[in-house]
Amino acid sequence: MAHFVENNLISKHQHGFIRKKGCLTNLLEARDIHTEAMHQGYSADIIYTDFAKAFDKVPHKRLLHKLKAYGIHKKLLLWIKMWLKDRKQRVVLGEHVSEWKNVTTGAPQGFVLGPLLFILFINYLPDGIVHKIML
């Protein structure tokens, strides 16, 4: 993560999963934007989005494409691809067990790499927005 932050590869608007930038800093910056707009006679709209099950919805192929665009070294990219490949899941409820299903989306949770992959996946969301934005 430090490499991406130090080399300004992570959007400055990102507040989740970044050291010293979280919900509180997001709210304080939003307050500052709102206050500045009021002083200048403008309105400010603040929209908070809950990315429900966000980690589960990251498509592996698109994620790997974005990682390649970041210039991730081929060996590391291949390692991540193999780490994501052939993941399976099933549901067990009492004595009932479903069939195994392939998992083709999701940044695995419970690992340090999961939040980083998610951040890199959503990092370009602010691109093209001409107004102040925070993630």
97-123 pLDDT per residue, tens: 999 999 989 887 778 788 888 888 888
Average pLDDT, the chain: 84
**Mean pLDDT in residue range 87-93:** 93
- Mean pLDDT value across residues 28-53: 84
Query: What is d(CA 42, CA 57) in angstroms, rounded to the nearest whole number?
Result: 36
Q: How confident is the model at residue 135 (pLDDT cuts 50, 70, 90)?
A: low
Helix (H/G/I), strand (E/B), else coil: 105? strand
Q: pLDDT (tens digit, 9 = 90+) per residue, 42-74? A: 888 877 777 777 888 889 999 999 999 988 889
Whole-model pTM? 0.71
Length of the chain: 135
Contacts of 30 (CB under 8 A, 6+ apart): 46, 134
* The predicted structure's pLDDT at residue 30: 86
Q: How many angstroms separate the CA atoms of 121 and 74, rounded?
A: 18
